[in-house]
Amino acid sequence: MGLLSLGTPLSWPDTKALADHVREHGITQFLYTWDRWAGRKGEPLLWGDEIEYIVVSLLDDKKRASLSLRQSEILEELKNVVGDLCDEQPEKSMVIPTFHPEYGMYMLESTPGCPLGPHLKDLVGVEANMRFRRKLARSHLRPNEVPMTITSFPRLGVTDQPFTDPECMSVADSPASQSLFVGKGVTNPHARFPTLTGNIRSRRGSKVAINVPIYKDTNTPSPFVDPTIPYDRQLWPGDSEAKNGAAKPDHIYMDAMAFGMGCCCLQITFQAFNVDEARRMYDALVPVAPIMLALTACSPAFRGYLADVDARWDVIAGSVDDRTEEERGLKPLKNDKYRIPKSRYDSVDCYIANDVRNKAEFNDISCPINDEVFQRLRAHGIDEALANHVAHLFIRDPLVIFSERVDQDDEDSMDHFENIQSTNWQTIRFKPPPPNSNIAWRVEFRSMEVQLTDFENAAFSIFIVLLTRAILSFNLNFYMPISQVDENMHRAQKRNAAREQKFHFRKWVFPLGKAPAHMDCRSRAASPNGFRTSPESTENNSSSVPHSASTASFNLESDSKCTSPSTPHFEVDDETEEMTLDELINGKAEFPGLLGVVNAYVNSLNVDVATKCDIRKYLNLIKERAAGKLVTPAAWIRNFITSHPEYKHDSVVSEVINYDLLKAIDEV
Ligand code: ADP
Ligand code: MG
Ligand code: MG
Ligand code: MG
Ligand code: MG
Ligand code: MG
């Protein structure tokens, strides 16, 4: 959740009044960082994941699985343990994981503790690190508590039975969210979180309103009007909203930040060689984000019902949507400055690289910018693409300001910049270097849902890191219209998207002018016009993973689907086509597939067979899931629910079904 400064949060009116102050100083801070870092290069690949857990309390006598609201105690204990481990092993290079607070009081976040390195063995080591983290967390919980990597808790916010442990915390009593379903007990009490929740509601002018289509089973009433919503409650001003149309028929209605920010995900951050590489990497990953969302889908149930979606994205987007009616286009602009098409939590709106391949026509959706900020950045010599990106982030207001942090030394702090940046939750994040540290330009991949097992989480982490290496080494071009990326985001969340949807993607991904004119994919490796490392890449140390491949075979496996590509000369209109996930990952015709380029990259490395075999084990998961031979966690969970003997084909995930499901997941 970004930074957790301590202090006294200002009221919403006081926060709003300081918005320009934060934006102005935020840009000053960014410019200081820019001046310090813009010319620097030669940073090694360092990377790390973030995994979020839901701590489930299994009450066997009641056959109930609840959310354990003990984050603060658990973190306190883990802090001591981690401290002890560090004291015991000061000389060993063993990495001690770290645990962080999260929005939900039932959540934990863990990271490796220190960034991982660039070698294949570092990649392979991530699973052991993840297992260690889970074991560490688990061994400091109560015997009936389990840290689970599930994306959404199926019964968060039900009104028929308690869903928290302790039970009394299931009461919806939160003045910050005014939710009909969840109380203050589910939200981390650190001032930042309730303040965020309350200020989003205040800024928007109403509660957030999330409506996820319900999965219509044979016994689901049609139209479905949720009988469990307390429509007539009169506790807070927002209580009448559900009755007055915020809760839509045929949907699962949710009205609080907790429903979205209470979901768990898997994020990967990696450091780039220099700022230009970070920007190219960012752009290349933009079209990959929806693909990976579909492939990792893990959230088919919300608030006690099966949904007609498999993934969390729109739920989180809705859960922090602070836009006013004017900004949403429901009223003419009067008090607000911009029409804003998306929530602050949503997919990327513009590419950012200074690259001829980043053509204007690919940036084809509305991307309002803060003109003043744009002019300031341009005047400082920052190019248009990056200025545009930052100016777009800076159309937003700060949501939480601590009175103690209003005045900062801009040369020494990035707090005001991060205030805006860290509440722009997009699929990819471009992370500038923090002040007073060696950490350089980084890119974060944020779309993936967390997987049930560490093996899967490791596999997806490894895949993404290797994909970034392949993109750089082969100088791949993934540019496509952002409108099509957004269309893919919608498709990626649909029920069974991994099997049933097609996704737009760029047909020809190899560098222009370097297209091999004939041959099967294997001979590309020997082609003098083959795929070279980008100039920046070759400057780097060739012994490490990121920059050692200069040529490669795209035909790792004997059953390659590659055939002769024709010389590509596409107009924008036909630069992309729709592909299944199998085609996108495993390749077809002249399209090598994302796994194809990863395999080629791995093959090009001079490492021992055993390590390659280790890597292959993880990559096989990606391959088989994309091919449909393995199902997504969402499909597995959905199937478990619908084939449970107690399931009445009415879309309801009852307490017993939920309990059996979580027991089964724990056994996995
Ligand atoms: P946030 O919550 O802001 O996204 P976290 O600090 O929780 O970030 O996690 C960032 C991840 O980046 C961690 O896995 C960490 O190991 C990793 N990391 C730390 N330093 C670097 C670095 N210099 N380069 C790349 N990754 C890093
Ligand atoms: Mg987190
Ligand atoms: Mg984090
Ligand atoms: Mg975070
Ligand atoms: Mg963050
Ligand atoms: Mg993160």
ipTM: 0.94
Q: How far apart are CA 195 and CA 629, in angstroms?
A: 45
pTM of the model: 0.92
Integer Cα distance of 418 and 4 in angstroms? 11
Tell the residue nearest (CA) to atom 21 of ligand 1.
115
3-state secondary structure of 641: helix
The yes-or-no verdict on residue 162 having pLDDT over 60 is yes
Average pLDDT, the chain: 90
Q: List Cα–Cα distances, 346 to 202, 439, 486, 640, in angstroms.
A: 20, 26, 9, 30
Q: Decide if pLDDT at 587 tops 80.
A: yes
The pLDDT, as a whole number, for residue 572 is: 54
> Ligand 1 atom 13: the closest Cα is on which residue?
48
Q: How far is the CA of 186 from the centre of ligand 4 (A)?
A: 18
Tokens of 108: 């934990």
Least confident of 60-64, 351-355, 532-536: 532-536
What pLDDT is attached to residue 285? 98
- Among candidate residues 446, 584, 563, the one with its CA nearest the CA of residue 505: 584
CA-proximal residue: ligand 1, atom 23 (nearest):
439
Residue 5 confidence (pLDDT): 58
Question: Cα(269)–Cα(46) distance, rounded to whole angstroms?
Answer: 8
CA distance 231 to 580: 42
Indicate whether 535 pLDDT > 60.
no
Contact between residue 284 and residue 348 where contact means Cβ atoms under 8 Å apart? no
Cα-Cα end-to-end distance for the chain? 28
Q: Give the pLDDT of residue 118.
A: 87
| Across 88-97, 144-153, 335-344, 405-414, least confident range | 88-97
> Which residue has 């949720």 as its token pair?
226
Peptide bond into 223 cis (omega under 30): yes
Higher model confidence: residue 627 or residue 517?
627
User: How many A from CA of 2 to the centre of ligand 4?
Assistant: 5
Q: Which atom of ligand 1 is nearest to the CA of 48?
A: 14
Confidence of residue 592 (pLDDT cuts 50, 70, 90): very high
- Ligand 1 residue neighbourhood (C-beta within 6 Å): 2, 46-50, 100, 111-112, 115, 267, 269-271, 439, 442, 444
Confidence of residue 87 (pLDDT cuts 50, 70, 90): low
Q: How close is the Cα of 266 to the center of ligand 2, in Å?
A: 8
Q: Residue 533 above 90 pLDDT?
A: no
Ligand 1 mean position to 445 CA, how many Å?
11
Residue 51 C-alpha to ligand 1 middle, in angstroms?
11
Backbone φ/ψ region at 97: left (φ over 0), alpha (ψ -120 to 50), beta? beta
Ligand 1 mutation pick, 3, 49, 50, 96, max ligand atoms within 8 A of CB: 50
**Ligand 3 centre and the CA of 145: distance in Å?**
23
Q: CA–CA separation, 112 vs 90, rounded Å?
A: 17
CB 322 within 8 A of CB 269: no
Rounded Cα gap, residues 167 and 271, in angstroms:
43
Which ligand 1 atom lies nearest to the CA of residue 267? 4
Range name among 165-179, 366-380, 531-545 with the lowest pLDDT average: 531-545
**Gap from CA of 465 to ligand 5 centroid (Å):** 19
Distance 75 CA to ligand 2 centre (A): 14
Can you spell out the DSSP letters for 569-627? ---GGGSEEEEEHHHHHH-BBTB--HHHHHHHHHHHS---HHHHHHHHHHHHHHHHHHH
* Alpha carbon nearest to ligand 1 atom 1, residue: 2
CA max distance for the chain = 74
Q: How far is the CA of 246 from the centre of ligand 1 (A)?
A: 38
Q: What is the pLDDT of residue 589?
A: 86
Closest C-alpha residue for ligand 1 atom 4: 2
Please give the Cα distance from 157 to 210 (Å, whole number): 13
Which residue has its alpha carbon closest to ligand 1 atom 11? Answer: 48
pLDDT of the residue at 541:
34
Per-residue pLDDT of 448-506, as tens digits, reads: 999 999 999 999 999 999 999 999 999 999 999 999 999 999 999 999 999 999 999 99
Question: Counting ligands in written order, which one lies closest to the CA of residue 269?
Answer: 1
Q: Which helix (H) or strand (E) covers residue 251, if one does?
A: strand 251-254
Q: Which residues lie near ion ligand 5 (Cβ < 5 Å)?
A: 2
Helices and strands counted in the chain (H then E):
22, 17
Tens-place pLDDT, residues 282-296: 999 999 999 999 999
Residue nearest to atom 3 of ligand 1 (CA): 2
pLDDT at position 330 over 70 = yes
- Classified as helix, coil or strand, 57 is strand
Cβ contact 208:255 at 8 Å:
yes
CA–centroid distance, 425 to ligand 5, in Å, is 8
Q: Which atom of ligand 1 is nearest to the CA of 270?
A: 25
- The region of weakest confidence among 23-27, 159-163, 519-523, 644-648 is 519-523
Counting ligand 1 atoms within 8 A of each CB, the residue from 107, 269, 465 with the most, and so the one to mutate, is 269
> Which residues, other chains included, contact 225 with Cβ-Cβ below 8 Å and sequence gap of 6+?
249
Cα separation, 193 vs 320, whole angstroms: 12
Higher pLDDT, 96 or 517: 96
pLDDT at position 540, please? 36
CA–CA gap between residue 621 and residue 614 (Å, rounded): 12
For residue 439, the ligand 1 atom closest to its alpha carbon is 23
Measured from the alpha carbon of residue 446, the closest ligand is 6
Q: How far is the CA of 469 from the centre of ligand 5 (A)?
A: 23
Which atom belonging to ligand 1 lies closest to the Cα atom of 3?
Answer: 3
Cβ neighbours around 98 below 10 Å, total: 15
Residue identifier of the C-alpha nearest atom 7 of ligand 1: 50
* Residues 183-192 as b or e (16 or more Cβ within 10 Å = b): bbbbbbebbb
Q: How confident is the model at residue 552 (pLDDT cuts 50, 70, 90)?
A: very low
pLDDT, tens only, 45-73? 999 999 999 999 999 999 999 999 999 99
pLDDT category of residue 81 using cuts at 50, 70 and 90 = confident
| Res 260: pLDDT | 98
Split at pLDDT 50, 70, 90, the class of 574 is confident
The answer to whether 206 and 246 have CB atoms below 8 angstroms apart is: yes
* Residues 185-195, mean pLDDT to the nearest whole number: 95
